[in-house]
Amino acid sequence: MVRTRVKICCITSPEEAALAARHGADLLGLVGPMPTGVGPITLERVREVARTAPPWAEPVLLSSAETAEGLAADVEASGVRTVQVVRHVAPEVLPALRALIPGIRILQVLHVEGPATLDLVEGYARASDALLLDSGRPSVEEFGGTGRVHDWSVSAEIVRRSPVPVFLAGGLKPGNVGEAIRVVRPFGVDICSGIRPEAGRLHETLLRAFMGGVAAA
């Protein structure tokens, strides 16, 4: 049986990074400057936190830049090697980013607002190392941390069609992550607000319960 990978997002400090890694996180999401959402920190802070990550927990920068040059600047400033592109950027942007930073790993977000998202899969999968399905609304500059569940039937179809690994995000929490994994069958899951009930702080009991739900699925 293939183990479901886990990305704990909205990490804001070395202490949160250590806590998430201790409980088995495979990736640590570090939210750079963002128009909306949970847990944005400066790129300098991203670099500081990323330096503390243990070898088994890959730091991932979330960037809202729209151009290859903007994304590359964010990556260079933060010192990471994996970037999560939260906008539905133009088709030429991701290949241009690879040309600017050879070896960069790209996690492209698809915001699942309905069946029309299926039309985006082929193009973005061709240029990305993995896709991440979230519940944002790019039309109103909303790119994550919404706490909303989207249509998992669309997500499941994206998983079936995608030639690259797919992470599922959007409204996940300890109580529904098992069902989400069984329905969608993603390569990995991603969580932010579902384990941050108190002023956005990472809650260890909820984190432990979430990881338990993933393991039991």
Q: What are the pLDDT digits (tens) for 139-174?
A: 656 666 667 889 999 999 999 999 999 999 999 999
Encoded amino acid at 175, one letter: G
Instruction: Kindly report the backbone phi and psi dihedral angles of residue 20, in degrees, each rounded to the nearest multiple of 5, phi listed first.
Output: -60, -45
pLDDT at 3 over 70: yes
- Over the stretch 56-66, which tens digit does the pLDDT of each residue have? 999 999 999 99
pLDDT at 138 over 90: no
pTM above 0.75, yes or no: yes
Dihedral sign for Cα atoms in the order 85, 104, 57, 34: negative
| Domain 5-216: homologous superfamily in CATH | Aldolase class I (3.20.20.70)
Residues 6+ apart with CB under 8 A from 50: 28, 30, 59, 61, 78, 79, 80
- Over the stretch 90-123, which tens digit does the pLDDT of each residue have? 989 999 999 999 999 999 999 999 999 999 999 9
3-state secondary structure of 179: helix
121 vs 125: CA distance, rounded Å: 6
